[in-house]
Amino acid sequence: MVTIVAIDGNGVAIVAVDGNGVALIAVNSLVPKVIDVKEAGPGGACSARKVFGMSQRFASLSLIALTAVAISACATKKKDLPPPPPVVGTVVPQTTAPVDNGSVPPPAMVGTTVIPGSAADFVAQAGADHVLFGYDSYELDEDARTILGKQAEWLARYPAVKVTVEGHADERGTREYNLALGDRRATAAKNFLAAQGVDTGRMSVISYGKERPAVDGADEAAWAQNRRAVTVVAAKP
């Protein structure tokens, strides 16, 4: 049974696997996700790291699936450990794109283990925890406004939850300017959420400039992913 037992301050969901292992899944950042699987049992350290890209819309599903892969990979190397438990849980699938793609039926719902009100739930329900921007722009396009609108709906359902909106820039600007640009982006996202009724007292902004790219790359595809504002659900007090 995979159960999310806690969300830490970095928006990292901690998934308890069994008595032997703990999988850490970063759920607050963008594709590609980094998954760390750390063995906590007495058999010694076993760690596997997977970096994978995926489309946002299936992020939640992939997350669980890859957790299973990572755990299996780890377990196969440690023959003295019991086999990993089967992964039976999944999350509510979400689609953020307009429903114009009849060829892909929505996956069946098999019950959820995502804790309502958690960061994982936020990502699942809003479709994404982040919105993207054009080069040197802090304008929210239609996709961004759609996602932020869903984020605002979720935040309306969980009025006790606080968020930090992180602003980021791609590498094609100077350091100081990009810090200011990241602030502009985070502020634009925050202001939109506020306009949708989210109390500004629940939101703080922080800019990382070009210091924390989501993707390590130096081409347009990477830059596009790195120009972003991420809504990070704060850890519960």
Partner 1 sequence: MFMRTLSLAFLALSLTPAQAVIRVDINSGIAQPLPIAVPGFVATAPGTTEAGSTADLGVRIAQVIANDLKSSGLFRPLDPAAYTTQVTPDDVMRPQYAAWRTVAAQALVTGNVTVNADGGLTIGCYAYDVFSAEELARQGFVTTAAGWRRAAHKCADLVYSRLTGETGYFDSRIVYVSETGPRTRRIKRLAVMDQDGAGHRFLTQGQNLVLTPRFAPNQQTLTYMSFEGNRPRVWLYTLGSGRQEAIGDFPNMSFAPRFSPDGSNLVFSMSVGGNTDIYRMDLGSRKLTRLTTQPGIDTAPSYSPDGSRIVFESDRGGTQQLYVMAADGSGQQRISFGEGRAATPVWSPRGDLIAFTRLGGGRFSIGVMKPDGSGERLLTNAYQDEGPTWSPNGRVILFFRSARGGPVNLWSVDLSGQNERRVATPLDGSDPAWSPLLP
CB of 65 to partner 1, least distance (A): 22
Q: Are the C-beta atoms of 204 and 164 separated by less than 8 Å? A: yes
CB of 74 to partner 1, least distance (A): 21
- Interaction pattern, residues 192-211, with partner 1; x per rule: CB under 8 A: --------------xxx--x
* C-alpha closest to that of 11 among 1, 21, 26, 23: 26
Question: Is residue 175 near partner 1 by the rule CB under 8 A?
Answer: yes
Interatomic CA distance for residues 137 and 169, integer angstroms: 10
Count, residues near partner 1 per rule CB under 8 A = 30
Question: Is residue 47 near partner 1 by the rule CB under 8 A?
Answer: no
User: Residue 75 or residue 130: which is nearer to partner 1 going by CB?
Assistant: 130
Interatomic CA distance for residues 131 and 228, integer angstroms: 5
**Pairing relationship of beta strands 203-209 and 163-168 according to DSSP bridges:** parallel
Other beta carbons within 10 angstroms of residue 3's beta carbon come to 12
User: Residue 14 or residue 16: which is nearer to partner 1 going by CB?
Assistant: 14
Question: Is residue 173 near partner 1 by the rule CB under 8 A?
Answer: yes
**Which tokens in the block code for residue 131?**
């919105």
Residues near partner 1, by CB under 8 A: 29, 34, 138, 164, 171-177, 179-181, 183-184, 187-188, 191, 206-208, 211-218
